Amino acid sequence: MRHYAESSRSAGQDAGRKRLTPPAQVTQEAAFDFYKSSLLFLPVSSLAARLFETHSRDSRAVFHDNVKIMLNNCSFAYFLQIYNNYL
């Protein structure tokens, strides 16, 4: 019984490692999604908070909507240029 429990536990650990392994090739679209969700939006959000901290919540919401529209319509290269400008 003990051997079975150890083997099933090690199999579960191996399965967990396989799920966390990144793909060998990353497409441009996947990279764009990653940058859009994790790199640019956080600085833009903090910038929006600073720009509109004395304004109403509606002003902040409009600013965030405009940023989302801009991100959805720009190319990957332009997107990286925008990100570098916000750093």
| Whether the Cβ atoms of residue 83 and residue 39 lie closer than 8 Å to each other | yes
Report pTM.
Answer: 0.21
Structure tokens of 15?
């399965």
Which portions of the chain are predicted below pLDDT 70?
1-87
Residues 23-48 pLDDT 10s: 455 566 666 666 666 555 555 555 55
